[in-house]
Amino acid sequence: MKKIFVFFVTAVLAFSFAACQKKEEKASSPRPAATGPIIDKPAGGSGFPAEEKDFQVVVPDAVKNGWTAVVIAVDEKATGKTEEFKVKTGGEFSIPNSKLTVKVGPFLPSLKITGNVITSESNEPNNPSVAIAVYESGKRIFPAEKKEWGWLYANLPQIHAFEHERYGLKLIQGIKK
Do 20 and 106 reside in the same domain of the chain?
A: no
pLDDT of the residue at 19? 52
Do 27 and 48 reside in the same domain of the chain?
A: no
Block means of pLDDT (10 residues each) for the chain, 177 residues, are 49 49 42 49 45 79 95 96 97 97 98 95 96 96 88 93 94 95
Verdict on whether the full-model pTM lies above 0.85: no
- Selection from 43, 76, 61 nearest residue 120 by Cα: 61
Do 97 and 115 reside in the same domain of the chain?
A: yes
DSSP string, 120-143: ES-SS-SB-EEEEEEEETTEEEES
Do 106 and 80 reside in the same domain of the chain?
A: yes
Pairing of strands 150-153, 56-57: unpaired
For residue 25, count other CB atoms closer than 10 A to its CB.
12
Its domain, for residue 63, covers: 33-176
Number of domains in the chain: 2
pLDDT of the residue at 112? 96
d(CA 150, CA 57): 12
Do 45 and 1 reside in the same domain of the chain?
A: no
Do 26 and 107 reside in the same domain of the chain?
A: no
Do 110 and 171 reside in the same domain of the chain?
A: yes
Do 163 and 81 reside in the same domain of the chain?
A: yes
Do 78 and 163 reside in the same domain of the chain?
A: yes
Do 131 and 55 reside in the same domain of the chain?
A: yes
Do 120 and 73 reside in the same domain of the chain?
A: yes
d(CA 40, CA 34): 13
Do 26 and 74 reside in the same domain of the chain?
A: no
